[in-house]
Chain A
Amino acid sequence: MSNEKIQAELEKYEANVAKALAKFPERKNIPEQRLYTPLDIQGDDYADEISFPGVYPYTRGVQPTMYRGRFWTMRMYAGFSTAEESNKRYRYLIESGATGLSCAFDLPTQIGYDSDDPISEGEVGKVGVAIDSLADMEVLFDKIDLGKVSTSMTINAPASVLLAMYIAVGEKQGVPADQLKGTIQNDILKEYAARGTYIFPPRPSMRLITNIFAYCSKNVPKWNTISISGYHIREAGSTAAQEIAFTIADGIAYCEAAIKAGLDVDSFAGRLSFFWNAHNNVLEEVAKFRASRRIWAKVMKERFHAQKAKSMMLRFHTQTAGSMLTAQQPNNNIVRVALQTAAAVMGGTQSLHTNSRDEALALPTAEAVMIALRTQQIVAYESGLADVIDPLAGSYYVEAMTDRIEKEAMEYIQKIDDMGGAVDAIEKGYIQKEIQDSAYKWQMDVESGAKTIVGVNKFQIEEEPPKGLLRVDASVGVKQTAQLHEMKAKRDNAAVQKALTDLKTACEDENENLMPHILNAVRTYATLGEICGVMRKVFGEYEAHVSL
């Protein structure tokens, strides 16, 4: 059918709609068109914009076979209490068929404080496992073969230290660094913008990140050195387009920093990975994943002149949206997570974490985690969604929305470029303000009823308080502190002091790569707090920008 013919038919259809509307009013507050047609995607050139899986611009996926080869990595984020407790949960997950580990650390660990620091009071072991030194890390991975498992660590400001500990555990297990597989999040910019677990100011933080890029490209080549994360930006309240725009702007900033530090773009770009949110609107999410791949490919090719195909491929981990879990009628969350899983899979994710139904209330119980993992397995093995590559390509709606999200995101990226890049835009508070505005709008829409959340502002019921939540024993802090003191009494404290002094000297020399020095310190059982303390002294601490 020619476009003219479609246009004519569309007009007839619209006339019909007008008649129907007189009798049947439509639901309000739907931002999308009622119907999409070939007219909405006439600008798309198949070869340039969509193309084939494994082919630039990778809109349809980064591998030629996608899930026809193997499924995404089913990676469950876990960790709480002590290393010993978390180790049990990891082994349980591996026995249940999880194919990768994902470590959650407690907040003192994420912000570089030891468990006995006064500021850690009440936080030890709460949102993740407490790691004070290599000793804890050895327990965390006890009886887990680092040569076989791939491990993702949600760690940012002190990512270098935790990576060093992982390398040191590998050494003890006899696994050389070049065999280690996994990811560190290591994405400080989104910490400033959305997640809040920063330590140092941007400059030294960017240096640590480029140090890791350089060190790993030589010594830990299978390691994903960064997971540039939109997940938390979305959790903080952004829209889908803002999620990928701000994150890709961060990615651009990391590339620029690394290139400025003298690295060749193709030496590190292949190890960059991304981390997206799978939110409630299934089709919008699929379009977002597709658009993100296309944007990144173009950025890497046109802006950074990458040569290697791998440098242009946006590989990503996905987590279902934690902020969309409701405390009300928590079993409904199982359904939400299933739909979000479907979106991530149709969007071509490389790995996936599914949230548990009870996480709006507390850390998940083992039973709830099992349902979440089973959700992935059902989508993989039963739903058929993983049987055909990029199944929604060619949908007038999904292609049009992929274009729209790409355009919207590119406008943001342009704006951020004009401000001098992501670091400047964050320091000006621009990105934070955009996210907050979206978060506030969302909340007001929910409160006004413009947006429906089942069980929260519609279909509410009286319910009994949920039972059987996981509780982290308050004694974890005491136990962890005792173990830390015991370890400090046993270690060679002279060696620790020497390593820390060396690290300080290295910090003061901007041209020195800090990774080897951190690794040396870690091997002496210097604690995370001691190592970060040295860096805090030299680098100072970041002061947040807030404009409400």
Chain B
Amino acid sequence: MEDIAQELLNGSRLALSRAITAIENEYDNATAIMKKLYPHTGHAYVLGITGPPGAGKSTLTDKLAKEYRKQGKTVGIVAIDPTSPFSGGAILGDRIRMNSLTLDEGVFIRSMGTRGSLGGLSHKTADAVKAMDAFGMDVIFVETVGVGQSEVDIVKAADTTMVVLIPGMGDDIQAIKAGILEIGDIFAINKADHDGADKLVTELNMMLDLDGVMKEWRPPIIKAVANQNIGVTELVETFKKHHDHIVSSGQLTQRRTERTKNEMLDLLSSNIGSYITRNIVDTGKIDKMVEDIKAHKIDPYTVVSEILQNMLK
């Protein structure tokens, strides 16, 4: 494929797929692709979906995507699953819940493993979203498991973030409450036909009350049963409300400014990181430096200053 970015912009799905691979695998052409795509981004509405394992996020994403398709919108989905820290491999199993979307030409689904890269995931995810955005997707879902720090970083890239919870999680909700209160614009209580759904709604409400700070947007709590398509339309309406709210309150601009800043800093530090890997670690220079420092021939502060100076030359 000669010019992946151009072919992507011409509507080639294979080019979109190859572009994401270039981003994911940090191929040399990734930066060039992103440079060319960047002017075409900024149109999509980005939805972050997170929550504990087994909450039914993929099924819910599947139904929400179908709802958007009914409205004539095109949909991109980035589904992230954890990479095994032992083998470096991953089972990417979200797609199985979305099999009926596979042959819909208005939908593109891509599964990604976290690959344990140091802070690189959020930047890779953001670029994958940009590629789908440039391709022309109207709505892009970023689905990720759990509410750990890297997930928080990922959903920060979203315009609206939905946290999916289910009844019967016991004390888990206490453990994750700090995280979810911070990032949830909308809470979906999935499997709401199971016992304990009302109790969970009450608990969440109490937590949101205790949150104290008066906010312009109080996160709504929506009950859903994804596999029976219950609550899906309401969720899409709520997304719209949230979208309208952040547009009219100026928050969207504010969020996107913040995001641009974060992404730039991310890009910067990941580039610095790879510069160091390439020039200091992979070349073996580091061993000499470490030896010299250990022998007190030189101090680490000077070494680092010199590296930085060389880099900026």
Binding site for B on A (CB under 8 A): 201, 420, 428-429, 540, 543-544, 546-548
* Contact across chains for B54 and A429 when beta carbons are under 8 A apart: yes
> Which of A540, A543, A544 is the most central at the interface, judged by chain B CB atoms within 10 Å of its CB?
A543
Q: Chain A contacts of B59 at CB under 8 A?
A: 543
Per-residue interface assignment for chain B, residues 205 to 227, with 1 indicating a CB less than 8 Å from any chain A CB and 0 otherwise: 00000000000000000000001
Known: A428-B54, A429-B54. A547 touches B227 (CB 8 A): no
Q: Chain B contacts of A428 at CB under 8 A?
A: 54
Known: A428-B54, A429-B54. A546 touches B227 (CB 8 A): no
Q: Given known contacts A547-B54, A548-B91, A548-B93, what 12 new A-B pairs fall within 8 Å (CB)? A: A201-B227, A420-B194, A428-B54, A429-B54, A540-B228, A543-B59, A543-B97, A543-B227, A544-B96, A546-B93, A546-B96, A547-B93
How many Å lie between the Cα of A428 and that of B54 in the bound state? Answer: 7
Count of chain B residues near A, Cβ 8 A: 9
**Which residues from 60 to 102 on chain B have a C-beta closer than 8 Å to any C-beta of chain A?**
91, 93, 96-97
How many Å lie between the Cα of A547 and that of B91 in the bound state? Answer: 9
A-B contact pairs, 15 of them (CB 8 A): A201-B227, A420-B194, A428-B54, A429-B54, A540-B228, A543-B59, A543-B97, A543-B227, A544-B96, A546-B93, A546-B96, A547-B54, A547-B93, A548-B91, A548-B93
Rounded to whole Å, the gap between the CB of A204 and the closest CB of chain B is 12
Which of chain B's residues has its CB closest to A429's CB? Answer: B54
Rounded to whole Å, the gap between the CB of A152 and the closest CB of chain B is 33
Q: Chain B contacts of A548 at CB under 8 A?
A: 91, 93
How many Å lie between the Cα of A72 and that of B9 in the bound state? Answer: 70
Total A-B pairs, Cβ < 8 A: 15
> Secondary structure at chain B's binding surface: helix, strand, loop or mixed?
helix
> Secondary structure at chain A's binding surface: helix, strand, loop or mixed?
loop
How many Å lie between the Cα of A80 and that of B54 in the bound state? Answer: 40
Rounded to whole Å, the gap between the CB of A198 and the closest CB of chain B is 13
Rounded to whole Å, the gap between the CB of A27 and the closest CB of chain B is 30
Q: Chain A contacts of B194 at CB under 8 A?
A: 420
Q: Chain B contacts of A546 at CB under 8 A?
A: 93, 96
How many Å lie between the Cα of A546 and that of B228 in the bound state? Answer: 18
Q: Chain B contacts of A429 at CB under 8 A?
A: 54
How many Å lie between the Cα of A34 and that of B75 in the bound state? Answer: 62
How many Å lie between the Cα of A544 and that of B59 in the bound state? Answer: 11
Q: Chain A contacts of B97 at CB under 8 A?
A: 543
Which of chain A's residues has its CB closest to B53's CB? Answer: A547
How many Å lie between the Cα of A440 and that of B194 in the bound state? Answer: 32
Q: Chain B contacts of A420 at CB under 8 A?
A: 194
How many Å lie between the Cα of A540 and that of B59 in the bound state? Answer: 15
Q: Chain A contacts of B227 at CB under 8 A?
A: 201, 543
Per-residue interface assignment for chain B, residues 5 to 49, with 1 indicating a CB less than 8 Å from any chain A CB and 0 otherwise: 000000000000000000000000000000000000000000000
Which of chain B's residues has its CB closest to A419's CB? Answer: B168
Q: Chain A contacts of B96 at CB under 8 A?
A: 544, 546
Which of chain A's residues has its CB closest to B59's CB? Answer: A543
How many Å lie between the Cα of A124 and that of B91 in the bound state? Answer: 32
How many Å lie between the Cα of A201 and that of B93 in the bound state? Answer: 20
Q: Chain A contacts of B93 at CB under 8 A?
A: 546-548
How many Å lie between the Cα of A543 and that of B63 in the bound state? Answer: 12
Which of chain B's residues has its CB closest to A543's CB? Answer: B227
Rounded to whole Å, the gap between the CB of B129 and the closest CB of chain A is 26
How many Å lie between the Cα of A429 and that of B93 in the bound state? Answer: 13
Per-residue interface assignment for chain B, residues 154 to 185, with 1 indicating a CB less than 8 Å from any chain A CB and 0 otherwise: 00000000000000000000000000000000
How many Å lie between the Cα of A544 and that of B194 in the bound state? Answer: 19
How many Å lie between the Cα of A429 and that of B59 in the bound state? Answer: 14
Q: Chain A contacts of B54 at CB under 8 A?
A: 428-429, 547
Which of chain B's residues has its CB closest to A548's CB? Answer: B91
How many Å lie between the Cα of A543 and that of B54 in the bound state? Answer: 14
Rounded to whole Å, the gap between the CB of A118 and the closest CB of chain B is 13
Which of chain A's residues has its CB closest to B226's CB? Answer: A543
10 tightest A-B CB contacts, nearest first: A548-B91, A546-B96, A546-B93, A548-B93, A543-B227, A428-B54, A543-B97, A543-B59, A544-B96, A547-B93
Q: Chain A contacts of B91 at CB under 8 A?
A: 548
Q: Chain B contacts of A201 at CB under 8 A?
A: 227
Which of chain B's residues has its CB closest to A201's CB? Answer: B227
Per-residue interface assignment for chain B, residues 178 to 204, with 1 indicating a CB less than 8 Å from any chain A CB and 0 otherwise: 000000000000000010000000000
Q: Chain A contacts of B228 at CB under 8 A?
A: 540
Rounded to whole Å, the gap between the CB of A444 and the closest CB of chain B is 14
Rounded to whole Å, the gap between the CB of B48 and the closest CB of chain A is 22
How many Å lie between the Cα of A540 and that of B228 in the bound state? Answer: 9
How many Å lie between the Cα of A543 and that of B59 in the bound state? Answer: 9
How many Å lie between the Cα of A424 and that of B194 in the bound state? Answer: 10
How many Å lie between the Cα of A546 and that of B93 in the bound state? Answer: 8
Rounded to whole Å, the gap between the CB of B65 and the closest CB of chain A is 14
Which of chain A's residues has its CB closest to B97's CB? Answer: A543
How many Å lie between the Cα of A234 and that of B227 in the bound state? Answer: 28
How many Å lie between the Cα of A544 and that of B93 in the bound state? Answer: 12
How many Å lie between the Cα of A103 and that of B59 in the bound state? Answer: 36
How many Å lie between the Cα of A310 and that of B194 in the bound state? Answer: 35
How many Å lie between the Cα of A201 and that of B91 in the bound state? Answer: 25
Q: Chain B contacts of A540 at CB under 8 A?
A: 228
Rounded to whole Å, the gap between the CB of B107 and the closest CB of chain A is 17
Rounded to whole Å, the gap between the CB of B66 and the closest CB of chain A is 13
